[in-house]
Amino acid sequence: MGRNKGGAVSASVEEVDEPTIAEGDILVKMLACGLCGTDIEKIRGEYTAAMPVLGHEAVGEVAESGARGFKKGERVFPHHHVPCGECRLCRSGAPTMCERYRTSNLSPGGFSEKFQVPRWNVEKGGVLRLPESVSSERAALIEPLACCIRAIDRLGVVEGDSALVVGAGPVGLMHAIYLQSLGVQPILTDVSQARVDFATGLGFDALRADKVNVGVESRKRTGGAGVDEVIVASGSPKAIVQGLQSVRKGGMVSLFGIPTKGVHLDYPVADIYLSEVSLIPSYGATEVETPRALKALLADGKKYEKLITHRFAIHDFDEAVKAAESGSAMKVLILPQT
């Protein structure tokens, strides 16, 4: 994986040995796996976190079980990272910062026809059984939606708040749909007209960030105050600045999108201080949020399912990456070989 001579992102599919499992592990046959923006960053070599394993939004069917309580044939969602729940970081409310959190993963990755889920993930509650009422494609949205739920929780959003979501891609729209379920009608922004149109088609107030002054527009919609909360669903420094310019005094800004390596923010820190604006990063999700994401998908699944615009078989993985890169797709799913 990486960039070809023309600079475009490319990936290849290779045959590898089927994973083996030890006591406590389970082997899962992939039924669907979402292609995340972080997967693209890993292929580019721009991802800032460790463990560049591809494919973490996976669901599947238990092919072999070495763990008590899981049987062959059961459909499951296996979370790729699971905290210990016992260390100081976990107990202080920062479980995704746990030293054990990123040491576990799906092997060789969620885009494989079969992958191993380690004992640690199983025993720490990282595997959810899927009810018959949720499709595998819809269930592939559990992990990204869980991340959105955790970010929104960290902001303390309540019914009737005003909110801005910067970035109208798949996770931006997941934030927006979940905010609606809390009684919040967010504004969305993006530099892509196609994404603005997609968001508008779902009934959202969406703005072209490069055509209007988003800070001014946000204040117009809030009586001059600015929005209560901003979710920056983009790693762009311009997006972060846009959020800071749109939030009210004492408001909250969630840094959700992952900045690429070497990104720096050029913004007057005094403005943040004098306005008492809180910057709250949110990385990943835990076993607190994944069941809630499943519950949300059971309640409002049709809304979230509209985000799935493209589906590719494993052997067309490079085409899936190209579709995601081109901006022509919203949520891309990888499905088993046909």
- Give CA–CA dist 124/77, Å, rounded: 14
**Based on the domain organization, do 172 and 230 belong to the same domain?**
yes
In a domain, 287, yes or no: no
**Based on the domain organization, do 135 and 172 belong to the same domain?**
no
Q: What's the pLDDT at 38?
A: 83
This prediction's pTM: 0.93
Torsion from C-alpha of 247, 248, 251, 255, nearest 10 degrees: 10
Q: What's the pLDDT at 1?
A: 43
Q: What's the pLDDT at 4?
A: 46
In a domain, 290, yes or no: no
**Based on the domain organization, do 100 and 164 belong to the same domain?**
no
In a domain, 295, yes or no: no
In a domain, 296, yes or no: no
The contacts found for 209-212 with CB under 8 angstroms, 24 or more apart, are 209/166, 209/238, 209/239, 209/242
**Based on the domain organization, do 109 and 165 belong to the same domain?**
no
* Residue where the block lists tokens 């997006």: 239
Nearest CA-CA partner of 115 in 188, 216, 29: 29
**Based on the domain organization, do 238 and 133 belong to the same domain?**
no
Q: How far is CA 141 from the centre of its chain?
A: 8
In a domain, 293, yes or no: no
Encoding tokens for residue 152? 């929104």
**Based on the domain organization, do 218 and 115 belong to the same domain?**
no
Q: Would you give per-residue pLDDT tens digits along the chain (338 residues)? A: 444 444 455 566 778 888 999 999 999 999 999 999 888 878 777 665 555 688 999 999 999 999 999 999 999 999 999 999 999 999 999 999 999 999 999 999 999 999 999 999 999 999 999 999 999 999 999 999 999 999 999 999 999 999 999 999 999 999 999 999 999 999 999 999 999 999 999 999 999 999 999 999 999 999 999 999 999 999 999 999 999 999 999 999 999 998 877 888 899 999 999 999 999 999 999 999 999 999 999 999 999 999 999 999 999 999 999 999 888 899 999 999 75
**Based on the domain organization, do 153 and 255 belong to the same domain?**
yes
**Based on the domain organization, do 12 and 137 belong to the same domain?**
yes
**Based on the domain organization, do 105 and 233 belong to the same domain?**
no
How many domains are there within the chain?
A: 2
**Based on the domain organization, do 156 and 40 belong to the same domain?**
no
In a domain, 261, yes or no: yes
**Based on the domain organization, do 8 and 130 belong to the same domain?**
yes
Q: What's the pLDDT at 47?
A: 62
- Three-state SS at 293: helix
Q: What is the CATH number of the domain that holds 320?
A: 3.90.180.10
**Based on the domain organization, do 8 and 42 belong to the same domain?**
yes
Angle between helix axes 142-155 and 170-181 (nearest 10 degrees) is 60
Q: What is the CATH number of the domain that holds 152?
A: 3.40.50.720
3-class secondary structure for 103-167? HCCCECCCCCCEEEECHHHHHCCCEEECCCCCCHHHHCCHHHHHHHHHHHHHHCCCCCCCEEEEC
Domain that residue 135 falls in: 2-141+307-335
In a domain, 244, yes or no: yes
